[in-house]
């Protein structure tokens, strides 16, 4: 027997309409590139998003077309988060930190029809455009009047909005239509796209706002420090609209001093970012103390939050830390670590151990641990295996890629590539990654790509790159290399310059060590386990 309830499409326009109707005066604050502050309301987001959506047709954008964004966190980017999907197109956030070659590949793969570029990032984007076989339509915003560019097909965001209509009727969109696209780096091969649907993002929004998860409420002031170009800013803009909360968007001002000022001045109750950001903020506050008692939950994810930092925030600064795990492929939220009733009696030291775990799957995410022989591992806190997940906001296949068995199981689970264990009370602890990507300052660095480029140097025969822990960036790459016999001996500086000519600066290993040989597995692959052990034993010091 079928239920007799309405078939109500779960689309992003419902969330924006809700924010406009119920919370029209709640504020959105943006720190502009020049340091000034721009303030407006959810009602303004609504009317300007309608104008923008109505004007997209004039750019030749049709339902299903991909519309790129190349921007920091700001109110225009927020408008694009709503206007693009609510018009039926797909909001494709481009990671501004990738190299021009990587970005050119992604734009070509996504076939972006137009790209909205923040003017302060124009020089960076021009380097990308030079590599495109066909440059999409470019819309510039946040710039000085009369900004000059070599790009041919450009127009100005405010002109576009001025030509739109705020009485525009949203088109009817099916809940399964695509709404957003984010690429994530792979260990091997090219970056892969996670294509979210209206339904998946709507349900993810409700998931984020579960009280066991982030649980944003109307009285919150939320600051996503996590970039809007990374996993839809963890879905926080949508969760804020759904809850009627206020948003603070820090623009390009991500240094610890600026963040501390913004938190204190704007009364931020939920800031969210990667551990590197919170390491910097903690150090800043030790030197320049500020009243940050407005914070009720410091959300940290994207990489493991060190236990010592959790303890420092909780005991020295009296700031509650909420540690979460997720992936671009999960929209991104998967687990959240919050103390439960049975933890109350624990001594503080044990509480920090609980918080340092990645946490409990939120309702909507099924999780299992699968060992090397393909069997499900027990939740005993010790048995390790690959973390596999499924749920309504978990990826089913990558954009324009056949579902390969190394990402998806035959019985319908997504293979995260993370390795971990589950405790009997359902807390996930991540112990490793099956892939050897390096996560530095919240951004991926591919060890395989670095190795290939190092080995592409004529004076290097072999190279391996591993992640080593770093107090500031969580992880940094360390390279070991074998010099080619007979070649003119290459210096570390020359190799670093070689890498810097191909990759962004933050990819370049701080340390490159020359060795006589690199450990290999029985099948001749680089044995990273052994290399890591050698590093831990101080062999590369
Ligand atoms: P991304 O898709 O860029 O968000 O990266 C997802 C990956 O980041 C996961 O597969 C994990 O390897 C890592 N990650 C995310 N959150 C955490 C966390 N809290 N602790 C450890 N690793 C994490």
pLDDT tens-digit readout, 182-229: 998 654 557 899 999 999 999 999 999 999 999 999 999 999 999 999
Residue nearest to atom 8 of ligand 1 (CA): 302
Q: What are residue 474's phi and psi, to 5 degrees?
A: 75, -55
Residue 327 CA, ligand 1 centroid: distance in Å: 6
Distance (Å, whole) CA 95 – CA 99:
9
If one counts every other C-beta atom within 10 angstroms of the C-beta of residue 341, the result is 6
- The span from the CA of 204 to the CA of 405, in Å, is 25
The per-residue pLDDT for 398 is 96
Looking at residue 104, what is its pLDDT? 96
pLDDT(521) > 70: no
Give the number of other CB atoms < 10 A from CB of residue 344.
Answer: 8
Q: Please tell me the distance from the alpha carbon of residue 129 to that of residue 194, in angstroms, as a whole number.
A: 23
- Bigger pLDDT: 367 or 101? 367
Tell the residue nearest (CA) to atom 15 of ligand 1: 302
Residue 358 has pLDDT above 70, yes or no: yes
143-152, 180-189, 517-526: which has the minimum mean pLDDT? 517-526
Determine the Cα–Cα distance for residues 2 and 222; give it in Å rounded to an integer: 40
| Structural domains present in the chain | 12-21+42-209 (3.40.50.12780), 255-430 (3.40.50.12780), 438-536 (3.30.300.30)
Out of 185-199, 325-339, 477-491, pick the least confident. Answer: 185-199
CA distance 274 to 400: 29
Mention every residue, 6+ apart, whose C-beta is less than 8 A from residue 49.
16, 79, 82, 83, 86
Q: Which atom of ligand 1 is nearest to the CA of 358?
A: 19
Q: What's the gap in Å between 321 CA and the centre of ligand 1? A: 17
Whether 476 shows a pLDDT value over 50: the answer reads: yes
Q: Which two tokens stand for residue 494?
A: 């020359």
Active site residue 184: yes
**pLDDT at residue 435 in the model:** 64
- Averaged pLDDT of the chain: 93
Q: Using the atom order of ligand 1, give the atom closest to the CA of residue 323.
A: 19
Nearest CA to 247 out of 462, 95, 27, 526 is that of 27
Q: In what order do the strands lie in the sheet with 246-249?
A: 37-41, 27-31, 246-249, 221-224, 270-273, 298-300, 321-326, 333-337, 360-361
> What pLDDT is attached to residue 73?
98
**Residue 424: pLDDT above 60?**
yes
Give me the pLDDT at residue 187, please: 44
pLDDT at position 185 is 64
Which range has the worst mean pLDDT, 119-123, 128-132, 140-144, 441-445? 441-445
126 is catalytic: no
Least confident of 50-54, 143-147, 452-456: 143-147
202 — alpha (psi -120 to 50), left (phi > 0) or beta? Answer: alpha
Give me the helices (H) in 57-167, please. Answer: 75-86, 100-110, 122-129, 157-162
Phi (first) and psi of residue 410, to 5 degrees: -65, -25
Q: Is 474 in the pocket of ligand 1 (CB under 6 A)?
A: no
pLDDT higher for 85 or 275? 85
Q: What is the reported pLDDT for 524?
A: 55
Q: For ligand 1, atom 5, which residue shows the shortest CA distance?
A: 327
Range with the largest mean pLDDT of 272-276, 279-283, 296-300: 296-300
Per-residue pLDDT, averaged over 226-243, amounts to: 97
Residue 523 has pLDDT above 60, yes or no: no
Closest residue to atom 4 of ligand 1, CA basis: 327
Interval 136-158 mean pLDDT: 87
Is the CB–ligand 1 distance for residue 332 below 6 Å? yes
Q: Please indicate whether residue 418, judged by its CB atom, sits closer than 6 Å to ligand 1.
A: yes
How do residues 306-315 score in pLDDT, each as one tens digit? 888 899 999 9
416 CA distance to ligand 1 centroid (A)? 9
C-alpha 399 – ligand 1 centre gap (Å): 20
Q: Which listed residue (113, 355, 439, 528) is catalytic?
A: 439
Q: What pLDDT, on a 0 to 100 scale, did the predictor assign at position 432?
A: 66
Position in ligand 1 atom list of the atom nearest CA 304: 20
Q: Which atom of ligand 1 is nearest to the CA of 433?
A: 12
Task: Calculate how far, in angstroms, residue 238's C-alpha sits from the geometric centre of ligand 1.
Answer: 21
Portion of the chain with pLDDT greater than 70, in percent: 97
Statement: residue 260 has pLDDT above 70: yes
Q: What is the pLDDT of residue 458?
A: 86
CA of 358 to the centre of ligand 1 (A): 10
pLDDT of residue 434: 67
% of residues, the chain, pLDDT over 90? 76
Tell me if 327 CB under 6 Å of ligand 1.
yes
Which residue has a Cα nearest atom 1 of ligand 1?
Answer: 327
The verdict on whether 167 is a catalytic residue reads: no
Predicted pLDDT at 402: 85
Annotation marks residue 262 as catalytic = no
Q: How confident is the model at residue 510 (pLDDT cuts 50, 70, 90)?
A: very high
DSSP H/E element including 56: helix 42-56
Nearest atom, ligand 1, residue 300 CA:
19
């Amino acid at each position: 027997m079928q239920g007799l309830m309405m078939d109500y499409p779960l689309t992003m326009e419902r969330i924006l309409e809700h924010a406009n109707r119920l919370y029209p005066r709640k504020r959105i604050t943006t720190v502009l590139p020049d340091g000034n502050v721009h303030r407006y309301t959810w009602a303004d987001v609504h009317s300007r998003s309608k104008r923008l959506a109505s004007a997209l047709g004039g750019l030749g954008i049709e339902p299903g077309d991909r519309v790129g964004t190349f921007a920091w966190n700001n109110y225009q980017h927020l408008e694009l988060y709503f206007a693009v999907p609510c018009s039926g197109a797909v909001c494709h956030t481009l990671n501004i930190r990738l190299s021009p070659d990587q970005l050119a590949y992604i734009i070509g793969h996504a076939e972006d029809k137009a790209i909205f570029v923040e003017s302060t990032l124009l020089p960076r984007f021009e380097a990308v455009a030079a590599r495109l076989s066909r440059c999409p339509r470019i819309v510039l915003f946040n710039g000085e009047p009369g900004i000059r560019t070599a790009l041919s097909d450009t127009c100005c965001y405010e002109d576009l909005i001025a030509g739109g209509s705020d009485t525009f009727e949203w088109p009817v969109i099916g809940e399964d239509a695509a709404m957003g696209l984010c690429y994530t780096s792979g260990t091997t091969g090219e970056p892969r796209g996670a294509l979210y649907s209206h339904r998946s993002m709507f349900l993810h929004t409700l998931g984020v706002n579960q009280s066991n998860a982030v649980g944003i409420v109307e009285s919150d002031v939320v600051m996503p420090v996590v970039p809007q170009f990374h996993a839809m800013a963890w879905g926080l803009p949508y969760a804020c609209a759904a809850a009627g909360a206020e948003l603070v968007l820090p623009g390009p001002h991500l240094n610890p001093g600026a963040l501390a000022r913004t938190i204190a001045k704007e009364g931020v109750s939920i800031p969210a970012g990667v551990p590197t950001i919170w390491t910097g903020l903690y150090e800043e506050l030790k030197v320049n103390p500020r009243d940050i008692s407005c914070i009720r939950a410091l959300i940290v994810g994207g990489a493991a939050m060190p236990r010592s930092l959790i303890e420092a925030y909780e005991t020295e600064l009296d700031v509650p830390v909420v540690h979460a795990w997720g992936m671009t492929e999960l929209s991104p939220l998967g687990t959240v670590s919050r103390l439960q009733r049975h933890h109350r009696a624990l001594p503080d030291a044990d509480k920090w151990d609980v918080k340092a775990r990645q946490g409990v799957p939120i309702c909507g995410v099924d999780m299992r641990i699968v060992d090397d022989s393909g069997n499900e591992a027990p939740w005993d806190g010790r048995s390790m295996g690959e973390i596999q997940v499924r749920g309504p906001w978990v990826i089913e296949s990558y954009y324009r890629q056949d579902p390969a068995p190394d990402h998806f199981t035959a019985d319908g689970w997504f293979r995260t590539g993370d390795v971990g264990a589950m405790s009997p009370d359902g807390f996930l602890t991540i112990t490793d990654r099956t892939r050897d990507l390096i996560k530095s300052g919240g951004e991926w660095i591919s060890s395989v790509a670095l190795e290939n480029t190092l080995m592409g140097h004529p004076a290097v025969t072999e190279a391996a790159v591993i992640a080593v822990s770093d107090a500031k960036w969580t992880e940094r790459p360390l390279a070991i290399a074998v010099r080619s016999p007979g070649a003119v001996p290459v210096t570390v500086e020359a190799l670093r310059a070689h890498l810097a000519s191909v990759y962004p600066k933050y990819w370049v290993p701080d340390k490159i060590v020359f060795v006589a040989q690199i450990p290999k597995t029985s099948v001749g692959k680089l044995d990273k386990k052994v290399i890591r052990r050698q590093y831990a034993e101080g062999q590369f010091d």
